[in-house]
Structure 1
Amino acid sequence: MEILSSGQKIRKIRKELKINQKEITGGEITRELISIIENDKSTLTPAVAQIVTDNINRICKEKNIDFSLNTEYLLEDIDSQINKIASKYIDFLSINEDDISKDFSKTIEKIELFLIKYDVREKKMIIYEKLGDIFRRQKKYNESYIYYVKSFENHNGLFNNIKLSSILQKLGCICIYLRKDKEALDFNNLALMYNYNIPEDLRFKVLHNNALAYMNLKEYDRALLEIKHIENTFKNLTKQYTFSSNVLKVNCLRYKKFYNDAFKLSEYMLSTLDNNDTENIILITVNILDIYTAIKDIKNVRIYIDKLIYLLNNYDKVKESCYASTAYNQLGISTNLINNVELSIEYYKKSIEAARCQRNERVLLDSLDELLDILIKEKNIEEINSFKNQIIEMILLDIIEPDITPIFKLMTFYNNIGDNESLNSLLQAILDSKNDLDILNMKY
């Protein structure tokens, strides 16, 4: 989309239609005036625009040229054109933001170049937020983070801005996906600071994410205080929000080793769910199995392993489930506790596959680490080599960072057994990924 001044438009039209300056004056204005306007040394007035338009249209009619001009086009200034194009980009992104299968890379390149060239600050904020939303839905969290930050950087700086608080809340959420929990707390608190009258729905999301970040940072008491604050602040929480808060509370109680309290709350939550709410039933069953596994209650561990396997095998939406990777990971842990190593390996593999699909980095790293420990303990060289190839693939696809614990464990293992070829292939993958990262950083 070409952005031109009024004078540039006239010159371009003349050149394309092979019309000279004198012809478009119609004897009503001077050729010198046209020249001054075309060189952007004088503003095009509506009266002159009408004369130019009438004469160009007359000439085209006389020469049978299929072209028609209107004064609105000529008079539209650069700022109006820039804003119109920015609005078109916003409309395009709004229409397509739910289509996660589309590749927007070429359009995004055009948008980026446009925003670099032209300063449309308010619309920049909206466009970058839309791009962040699209990448979040596509589970490309690093790209989503980049665009949300750009959106934040282009805000108007005003307090009591709901839009700004919303962007900060989204940034906090993305930071949790990316395991940037301290940064998530900073953005969440900024969201509250920038708007004293933040809507209840948005306030809940911010406070809930704060509690989640504290839990991930193992600050369980602070997480529980945040949950208590939520319970005291919101008197009419939706059923789903109440459920989400209670799930967090169960996890914090379990990590603080208040197993009985965690178990009782889990049982209560289970009793409140509809029988067809399989997704949430799976989550609560995972938490109960986790509690029994933590206290090594082998009898109940076996019972809940069977319950969870039954639920997963009979859930037709298990592949889309956001809890599948966590459920399979817990089955890997619990089956290993009862010494069913073969089954444990199987479920860790399923957890890794589901976590890759859902881009759940926390569960992915846990499952990779726990699976490798078992394979090394079992001295299963064939499986370890297969694991190594999977790790290399994930490094090159930018699914995992090259500095994670399982990679160092693999290197140590190959070094100890003197397998230099496997060690070198790992190192080469890391070097290749670093080169790709340098290129990506140059792009953004």
Structure 2
Amino acid sequence: MNILSLGEKIKKLRKEKNMTLKELAGDRITAAQISHIERDKSHTSYELLEYLSEKLDVNIEYLLETKEMQSKKITDNLILQSEIFIKCNELDKAKNQIMQVEKICKDYNLTENNGKCNYLVATINLKKENHSEAISNFEKALYFFIKNNDKKNIFRCYLNIGNIYQEEAFYKGAISHFNFAEEVLIDSGIENAEIYKELYSKMAKCYMKIDDPQNALEYIEKINTIDKQNDTKEEVELIILKANTLLSAGKYEESKDCFKRALETIEKEENKTDLANIYLTISDIYRDMGDTEKVLEYSHMVYDIKKSDEDECMMNGLFKIIEAYIDSEKYELARKYCKLALVSSIKYKNKFNEYRSLKLYSDMYKKQEEVTPAIEYLSKCIKIISELEDGKTLANLYIDLGQLYSGISKEKELEYYQKGVFMYRNLEII
């Protein structure tokens, strides 16, 4: 990992080969001249470097590499290794290595890699939930990325800072940074529809949180516009048509490139989870606005996209559908989807989703003022949550059960209220 001058490299190689100055000099040069070169006291010609590389059995490119070039290669590799440490959650090891890399970057003015180091330190702080430190490091990284006009990483910094502000409920700060991110995307000419949709869904949600539905709807409309412009099936058909035309004309390489593009487009579409998560966000926004029809529209889109996967994303879509049908008092449809959610939860042995399904049954019967089945389902929820040892949820369920007994049994009502309050006190909620 040592960064060596030309003279240091020649001396190191000569020593490794147990050669004297005279042996390396041969008939081409004097031993004294070699000594001067090794101490970086004199310059060498390209022809002399060719001679030395041959004698030392080394590639001339190695001798020609400046300290700056070496430092760039070394730091590139160490940064990649640090990223692996972070991916493997070896955060302290990554941070220690990045500190070494930063010193090399500072010594050799490697602004690009200095930016990457600060970005990785920010990522480590983000994983450790040190949000203020993460923001500080993202801002330092921005300085270097802006200096190098690295638009991709400038975008990533603004997006990450926006995400942190959104998580901390500082929605105006989040919007400001998401706007910066959007400007960088547009300026850089990036045409990745999924990136835009993810960004716009975040902006829409932030606008809803600051009670600005007009701007929220504007960004939702932008997402809808992107969806209309990106009909994957139609796009693939056009690419394949072009590929077949080129194939018929004997332009095999161009045809192959088109077929590869078509395949990449199809494979991109197969990653449905990102799109489904965006629709879940939009569904949440419409729920906050009280627009049940739109909640159902986007929740059904999530379910349709993910029903073949039967994963957590699909379940979240299902639960939103059920809640919307309960809100709009369409109980038969709510029961239909509740049954689907419960069957899927039991099939995959997901006890928490089983609880969520049963709780929705209870909520539905409570809203219909059918207290007995509401109590029955809530009791099943309590049994599951007790097994999962989720204290806060269990306390809430006891309070809910006490409310259900309020018109039936004062004794039971008081019993479950006391259980709930006792748990709240143990959890230091009250």
Q: Tell me the TM-score normalised to structure 1 length.
A: 0.59
> Partners of 1:216 and 1:369 in 2: how far apart?
25
| Secondary structure of 2:4 counterpart | coil
> Partners of 2:345 and 2:334 in 1: how far apart?
16
Give 1:235's aligned amino acid. K
> Partners of 2:296 and 2:163 in 1: how far apart?
29
The equivalent of 1:387 in structure 2 is: none
> Partners of 2:139 and 2:360 in 1: how far apart?
37
Pairwise mapping of residues 103-142 of structure 1 onto structure 2 (< 5 A)?
103=90, 106=93, 109-118=96-105, 119-125=109-115
> Partners of 2:295 and 2:69 in 1: how far apart?
62
**Ranges in structure 1 where 5+ consecutive residues have no aligned partner:** 58-67, 354-366, 385-405, 414-444
Per the TM alignment, residue 251 of structure 1 is displaced from its structure 2 partner at its CA by 2.1
Per the TM alignment, residue 165 of structure 1 is displaced from its structure 2 partner at its CA by 2.8
> Partners of 2:341 and 2:324 in 1: how far apart?
14
Aligned with 2:215 (options 222, 245, 252): 222
The equivalent of 1:212 in structure 2 is: 205
Distance change >3 Å, CA 310–CA 233, structure 1 → 2: closer
**Ranges in structure 2 where 5+ consecutive residues have no aligned partner:** 233-271, 367-373, 400-415
Per the TM alignment, residue 285 of structure 1 is displaced from its structure 2 partner at its CA by 2.0
| Secondary structure of 1:156 counterpart | helix
Distance change >3 Å, CA 111–CA 252, structure 1 → 2: closer
Kept in 2, the 8 Å contact 1:49–1:74? The answer is yes
Distance change >3 Å, CA 102–CA 383, structure 1 → 2: same
The equivalent of 2:2 in structure 1 is: 2
The equivalent of 1:255 in structure 2 is: 288
Pairwise mapping of residues 285-364 of structure 1 onto structure 2 (< 5 A)?
285-291=318-324, 305-315=338-348, 335=362, 338-339=374-375, 340-345=377-382
| Secondary structure of 1:212 counterpart | helix
The equivalent of 1:88 in structure 2 is: 77
Kept in 2, the 8 Å contact 1:335–1:344? The answer is no
The equivalent of 1:276 in structure 2 is: 308
Distance change >3 Å, CA 294–CA 132, structure 1 → 2: farther
- Structure having the larger proportion of residues in helix: 2
Q: Deviations over 1:294-349 (max 9, x none)?
A: 57888876665444222222248x69xxxx77x86676577476345544446667
Give 1:214's aligned amino acid. Y
Pairwise mapping of residues 22-421 of structure 1 onto structure 2 (< 5 A)?
24-26=24-26, 28-29=28-29, 33-50=33-50, 52-53=52-53, 57=56, 68-89=57-78, 103=90, 106=93, 109-118=96-105, 119-125=109-115, 151-157=141-147, 161-162=151-152, 164-169=154-159, 172-173=162-163, 176=166, 181-194=171-184, 195-196=186-187, 197-201=189-193, 202-215=195-208, 219-232=212-225, 235-237=228-230, 246-259=279-292, 261-262=293-294, 264-265=296-297, 269=301, 276-279=308-311, 281-291=314-324, 305-315=338-348, 335=362, 338-339=374-375, 340-345=377-382, 370-374=393-397, 378-380=417-419, 384=423, 410-411=427-428, 413=430
Kept in 2, the 8 Å contact 1:100–1:134? The answer is no
| Secondary structure of 2:428 counterpart | helix
The equivalent of 1:394 in structure 2 is: none
Q: Tell me the TM-score normalised to structure 2 length.
A: 0.60
Distance change >3 Å, CA 274–CA 23, structure 1 → 2: closer
Give 1:309's aligned amino acid. L
Distance change >3 Å, CA 33–CA 213, structure 1 → 2: farther
> Partners of 2:116 and 2:298 in 1: how far apart?
41
Per the TM alignment, residue 207 of structure 1 is displaced from its structure 2 partner at its CA by 1.4
Give 2:317's aligned amino acid. I
Give 1:122's aligned amino acid. E
Per the TM alignment, residue 190 of structure 1 is displaced from its structure 2 partner at its CA by 0.9
> Partners of 1:140 and 1:182 in 2: how far apart?
24
Per the TM alignment, residue 129 of structure 1 is displaced from its structure 2 partner at its CA by 6.0
Kept in 2, the 8 Å contact 1:282–1:308? The answer is yes
Which structure is larger by alpha-carbon Rg, 1 or 2?
2
Kept in 1, the 8 Å contact 2:121–2:134? The answer is no
| Secondary structure of 1:310 counterpart | helix
Aligned-residue Cα RMSD (Å) equals 5.0
Q: Tell me which of the two structures has the higher relative contact order, counting C-alpha pairs closer than 8 angstroms and 6 or more residues apart.
A: 1
Kept in 2, the 8 Å contact 1:171–1:184? The answer is yes
Distance change >3 Å, CA 101–CA 342, structure 1 → 2: farther
Per the TM alignment, residue 78 of structure 1 is displaced from its structure 2 partner at its CA by 0.7
Q: Percent identity?
A: 21
| Secondary structure of 2:71 counterpart | helix
Per the TM alignment, residue 286 of structure 1 is displaced from its structure 2 partner at its CA by 0.7
